Amino acid sequence: MDGKSLREGIYHYIKSSVQSQDEFNSLFTSLAALQRSENRLYGRYVESFGSRSISSWRDVIPVPVQFFKEFDLRSYPPGLQSEFCWESSGTTGKKSRTFLADSHTYNLVIEKLWKENVPKFEGNTYRLIPETSEWPHSSLAHFFTIGNSTEVVAEGCFRRWTPAYDSNDELISVFEFHEETETPLRLCGTSYAIASVFDHMEKLNVRFQLPEGSTIMDTGGYKGIVRDRSRDEFLGQAEYNLCIPSKNCLNEYGMSELSSHFWSHWIDGEEWWSVPPWVRVRSVDPFTGEDKNEGVGVFYDLANVWSCCAIQTQDIIEIKEGGGPEYIRPKGRMKEAELKGCSITAELTLSGAE
């Protein structure tokens, strides 16, 4: 199967409501083989592990996410031009870059998961993330633009993009309006943008009781821009400052290097993130590669058709016991000492790359 036919097959597999394990294995191993041949660096990295048979997605060698900061991991013929280049925030150093030859499958994933995971909202939406025209290399800006486009705005309601605030006082007036008019509010944005609003409110000692049905949709971490906090602390601030209960707070977990993403759900009073049916996830010991209930997240994303479909991250994740691979919980980044230890193999490969 040539690359074009394979990628079309993957698109239709993701679009389908029925996905079989056998078909996933066939498509994933074929995609991994294609990417090894189309991306010389990835091919060399896989060869460094010696010859091995690949009959399952679990046999595919994941590329360390650090590679996206050092190399061009485009897995497509040189004649194809990139439609998008996503750049990470770069708050921990050099920015990673992820290239897409086209956004066909990428947009399908956003639309499909948004429709399946984001509840219908009849109220006013404020989005604290710039438009794609202002952040052309931001996968988050693109994510919200495509996701919002799938929704129908209820009569009398509006969706408003709000630019970055020089002062969060302007947003205070937004809360006052929705409290007084008893109009539900949905606040969308990065976790650090929303957390900065909470911190500002607590500094001013102001709180609001937003009407029932108000929600928060956040994504991303704190990037060193505001004080780090646990998910529980963030949810506590949402309830304390805006009277928005935890069950009305929706989080999206993802990264610029992955095409798929993971939405939070409340299961028996606990928050877990659902895994799309075209993605497989392992939680491993960073030194031995053995599976653990809580360890480094390794993602096998069939939607990553233009870069590398298997990626070992620097994030700690927990896999829900008895839940199979369907639910995970992000637990933050690895400690610096652990990062240095588990990146030795990557550094050796990088040092020998041309």
Q: Amino acid identity of 107?
A: N
Look at residues 52, 109, 31, 86 and name the one whose alpha carbon lies nearest to residue 278. Answer: 109
Across residues 68-77, what is the average pLDDT? 94
Number of neighbouring beta carbons within 10 Å of residue 321: 8
Q: What is the pLDDT of residues 317-333, one digit of tens each?
A: 999 987 666 899 999 88
11-25, 154-168, 174-188, 277-291: which has the minimum mean pLDDT?
154-168
pLDDT of residue 294: 94
Backbone φ and ψ for 254, nearest 5 degrees, come out as: -170, -170
Higher pLDDT, 57 or 132: 57
Q: What is the mean pLDDT of the chain?
A: 89
pLDDT of residue 324: 62
pLDDT of residue 145: 92
**Which single residue is written with the structure tokens 């009398």?**
156
pLDDT of residue 78: 83
44-53, 102-111, 302-311, 338-347: which has the minimum mean pLDDT?
338-347
pLDDT above 90: percentage of residues in the chain = 70
pLDDT of residue 3: 93
Whether the pLDDT of residue 243 is over 50: the answer is yes
Higher pLDDT, 354 or 198: 198
Residue ranges of domains in the chain, CATH in brackets: 3-102+275-351 (no CATH), 107-271 (3.40.50)
Whether the pLDDT of residue 7 is over 70: the answer is yes
Backbone φ and ψ for 47, nearest 5 degrees, come out as: -60, -25
pLDDT bin (cut points 50, 70, 90) of residue 17 is: confident
Whether the pLDDT of residue 344 is over 60: the answer is no
Whether the pLDDT of residue 260 is over 50: the answer is yes
pLDDT of residue 226: 64
Backbone φ and ψ for 19, nearest 5 degrees, come out as: -125, 120
pLDDT of residue 349: 42
13-27, 59-73, 225-239: which has the minimum mean pLDDT?
225-239
Half-sphere exposure of 231 (CA within 13 A, CB side): 19
Backbone φ and ψ for 64, nearest 5 degrees, come out as: -65, 140
Residue 300 pairs in a beta bridge with 280, 310
pLDDT of residue 345: 42
Whether the pLDDT of residue 297 is over 50: the answer is yes
Look at residues 62, 50, 2 and name the one whose alpha carbon lies nearest to residue 30. Answer: 2
Higher pLDDT, 117 or 93: 117
Q: What is the pLDDT of residues 197-228, one digit of tens each?
A: 999 999 999 999 999 999 999 997 765 556 77
User: Which of the 8 DSSP states describes residue 326?
Assistant: G
pLDDT bin (cut points 50, 70, 90) of residue 350 is: very low
Q: What is the pLDDT of residues 156-200, one digit of tens each?
A: 888 887 655 446 788 899 999 999 999 999 999 989 889 989 999
Higher pLDDT, 35 or 130: 35
pLDDT of residue 343: 41
CA distance 16 to 14: 5
Whether the pLDDT of residue 354 is over 70: the answer is no
70-74, 91-95, 300-304, 311-315: which has the minimum mean pLDDT?
91-95
